[in-house]
Structure 1
Amino acid sequence: MVFVTGGSGLIGSFLIPALVAQGHAVRALYRRQIPRLVGAEQVEWVEGDVLDILVLRRALEGVTHVFHCAGLVSYAPQDEDALQQTNVEGTANVVDACLDRPGIRLCHVSSVAALGSAAVSAEQAPGVAQELTEDAKWDLGAEHNAYATSKYLGELEVWRGVAEGLSAVMVNPSVVLGPADWERSSTRLFRYAYNEHAFYTPGNINFVDVRDVVDAMLHLTLQTAVSGQRYILSAGAVPLHDFLAQAAACFGKKAPSIAVPDWAAEIIWRAEHARSVLTGARPLITKDTARAGRKSVVYQSQKVQQATGRGFRPLADTIHWCCQNVKQNSVGSGVVVVY
């Protein structure tokens, strides 16, 4: 029996059908409504929230493996408390519920954001990308955004569980790409390309196909007994402009052509912050998102490739797959609904 949190998210929505296809008995947590997924009728759905420890403890009865995919991704200042609750307290609850049932094996979905960033040496040439591995150390004295901090603290809860005897692995995906509701998460990048926006920010994007994420999670959790390890899941890095240009071309749209300089981005995020304070609306761009691409970072994934014996899909294949699925599910004038 496998238990999954975050079944309505991008990773969970592909993980659950994969588990069902492999013949596993699946139990999954949902909050408002049961997600529309392939094989959803074969899943035992449990209504609740990762903040409800009693629901989690009951849900883990008879369970052998847990995939903790539930998490909040946000860079909006209004969500700092929610990030702490979902990504830290929620993870602590999952860990505690697992510890109450000896023998359970946990796979926790973290993020490359939890790795922090490497220190720039005096000898490092400007513009040269920093390369980070799973051994990257979190700099307690550095400035980190609320999302990264919440994912790091969530990982600490899993490490605590391992110290108390829990068998657990962690995966740290970069930007996960896949066809989904393009009003949410990374899939908004495809909406941006589809709508032919003219502007883009300089910098790179590290990416990974959601199918590769699911394959790695299944292998590490169900086919190995390794514990107390984390694995970066990232297929590579490309300039953001190149990504948007490829996505736009796949849609038959015009690629963005105007680079936003750093000084303009600084003005924009400040203006958006003021607008959000006055109106209560969420900012379209924040300080963290405006500055995200300035540090050129490449996440190394040799560890997981050695552990699984598998590589990653190339970006062109992922973009083509995503765009085709978005097109097939489009309704009305550019409104897209994907499940």
Structure 2
Amino acid sequence: MNLNPKETILITGATGLVGSEIINQLDCSRYHIIGMARNIPENAPKGIKWVSCDILDVVALEEALKGVTQVYHCAGFVSFDPKLKDQVLKINIEGTANLVNCCIKNGVKKLLHVSSVAAIGEAKGAKRTIDEKVEWHEKGASDYGKSKYLGEIEVWRGLCEGLDAVIINPSIIIGAGDWNRGSTAMFKSVYDRFPWYTEGIHGFVDVKDVAQAAVLLMNSPISGERFIVNGANISYKMLFDLMAAGFNVPEPKKKVTPLMAEFVWRLKYLKSKLTGKSSILNKSTARTALIICEYDSSKLKNALPEFHYTSIENTISRTCKALQKKYGL
């Protein structure tokens, strides 16, 4: 891949699942990389410049973007917890607006915005497969989905004001992140012998594939487009079975019915209110786990014919091994 060695690239959310993988895939010896995060860990990768900055701090953000030519916007707050609604909306909408404004002010050449399939509408009627053309509706959408959709609106505004930008909409991202939060928490549930499963279907994608697609799109002439990034549409039952095999633990055996899901998420909600601890199971996640959402990523394949997805089996197997090493299992 021919990259200009004079390019200065900034990654927001650089310590997160997607941001850290993009850094792994960029050649630090060929151009200048700035990793931006609110809190920089002691074990942060060497060879790049690290900047501690809150995306809501406009002054610090403007300073961080001086001389930057490309920006990967991976920072965001992923939560379906109703108690965290205000934080989700503020970071994902206002934070993105701040970044877009600073990119325009500092003459950034191109912005790659990491959104989510949560910002894409649901298929209606006989149409079961969701693509980039499906119309988004606020009714029934999660607060997180609203925040990502409105964050995209800020990027489209930036395009109208002269900023080159491209958006990716990954499905549920699989990678060896913090297994106490986000999508990686599913691995912990399976490892802890969580016995329940649903037959709902959703899209899943390897974090390495998300990062590769982001880098390829950034260094292409493509602008003003959004792309679903989805490796496979599979049932949660199949997903959990693959995780169980990867950890060598029993597969979930108890099927969750819609009525049972409504009862369980309410029970978990009451428990979280009493303990003060958030649960990955709530009204939104419980209902999402029961529905069929199949995503069509053919637009990305047509735009990037050299791009290929990792099989979901290999993704799960590799992630299980990485988590076992990470947590000394």
TM-score range, shorter chain: over 0.9
Number of positions where the alignment pairs a residue of Structure 1 with one of Structure 2: 321
Q: Is 2:12 the partner of 1:14?
A: no
Letter in 1 for 2:50: W
Kept after mapping to 2: 8 A contact 1:20/1:42: no
2 CA distance for matches of 1:34 and 1:250? 29
Shift of residue 325, structure 1, vs aligned partner: 1.4
d(CA) in 1 for partners of 2:64, 2:41: 16
Separation in 1 of the partners of 2:236 and 2:103? Answer: 39
- CA distance in structure 1 between the aligned counterparts of 2:142 and 2:178, rounded to whole angstroms: 25
Does 2:40 align with 1:33? yes
Q: Which residue of structure 2 aligns with residue 183 of structure 1?
A: 180
Q: What is residue 128 of structure 2 aligned with on the other side? A: 130
Bigger Cα displacement from structure 2, 235-244 vs 22-31? 22-31
Task: Indicate the residue corresponding to 1:247 in structure 2.
Answer: 243
The answer to whether residue 11 in structure 2 is matched with residue 4 in structure 1 is: yes
Q: 1:250 to 1:280 in 2, by over 3 A?
A: closer
CA distance in 2, matches of 1:43, 1:21: 7
Structure 2 residue corresponding to 1:285, chosen from 281, 287, 292: 281
After TM superposition, give the deviation of residue 36 of structure 1 in Å: 3.0
2:250 & 2:129 partners in 1: Cα distance? Answer: 32
- How many angstroms apart in 1 are the aligned matches of 2:37 and 2:27? 17
Counterpart amino acid of residue 159 in structure 1:
W
Q: Identify unmatched segments of 5+ residues in structure 2.
A: 1-7
Pairing 1:1-339 to 2, within 5 Å after superposition: 1-21=8-28, 23-34=30-41, 36-37=43-44, 40-119=45-124, 121=125, 124=126, 130-140=128-138, 142-222=139-219, 224-309=220-305, 310-331=307-328, 334=329
Q: SS of the counterpart of 1:42? A: coil
Q: Tell whether the 8 Å contact from 1:106 to 1:167 is kept in structure 2 after alignment.
A: yes
Offset at 1:281? Answer: 3.1
- Counterpart of 1:337? none
Pairwise CA RMSD of aligned residues? 1.6
Are the counterparts in 2 of residues 272 and 285 from structure 1 also a CA contact under 8 Å? yes
Query: What is the one-letter code of the residue matched to 2:158?
Result: G
- Cα deviation for residue 327 of structure 1 reads 2.2
CA distance in 2, matches of 1:35, 1:13: 14
CA distance in 1, matches of 2:156, 2:294: 25
Question: Which one-letter code corresponds to 2:229 in the other structure?
Answer: L
Structure 1 residue 31: Cα displacement? 1.3
- 1:232-270 deviations in whole A, cap 9, x for unaligned? 000121111111111111211110000111111111122
Q: 1:291 to 1:22 in 2, by over 3 A?
A: farther
SS at match of 2:169: strand
Moved more, 73-82 or 202-211: 202-211
Cα pair 1:8 1:35 within 8 Å, conserved: no
Q: Which amino acid aligns with 1:60?
A: L
Aligned residues with identical type, % of pairs: 36
Cα 1:251–1:68 shift into 2, 3 Å: same
Amino acid at match of 1:139: H
Equivalent residue letter for 2:263: I
Is the CA contact (8 Å cut-off) linking 1:133 and 1:232 kept in structure 2?
yes
- CA gap 1:300/1:286 in 2 versus in 1, 3 angstroms: same
**Structure 1: stretches of 5+ with no match in the other structure:** 335-339
Is 1:200–1:258's contact at 8 Å kept on the other side of the alignment? yes
* Offset at residue 189 of structure 1 (A): 1.5
Post-superposition CA distance 1:93-133 (Å, at most 9, x none): 000000102242100000000002122x2xx3xxxx71011
Q: Is the 8 A contact 1:34 1:45 kept in 2?
A: no
How much has 1:144 moved relative to structure 2?
1.1
Q: 2 CA distance for matches of 1:104 and 1:52?
A: 22
DSSP 3-state at the match of 2:26: helix
Contact residue 193 and residue 252 of structure 2 kept, 8 A: yes
> Cα deviations across residues 31-71 of structure 1 (Å, max 9, x unaligned)?
1233634xx22111111100011111111111110000001
CA contact (8 A) 2:69 2:107 kept: no
The CA distance in 2 between the partners of 1:279 and 1:195, in whole Å, is: 20
Alpha-carbon separation, structure 2, partners of 1:207 and 1:138: 20
199-208 or 70-79: which moved more?
199-208
Deviation at 1:279, TM superposition (A): 4.4
Cα shift at 1:21: 4.7
Identify the range of structure 1 (252-261 vs 185-194) with the bigger mean alpha-carbon deviation. Answer: 185-194
> d(CA) in 2 for partners of 1:260 and 1:195?
18
Q: Which whole-Å CA distance do the structure 2 matches of 1:103 and 1:30 have between them? A: 19
Per the alignment, residue 3 of structure 2 pairs with none
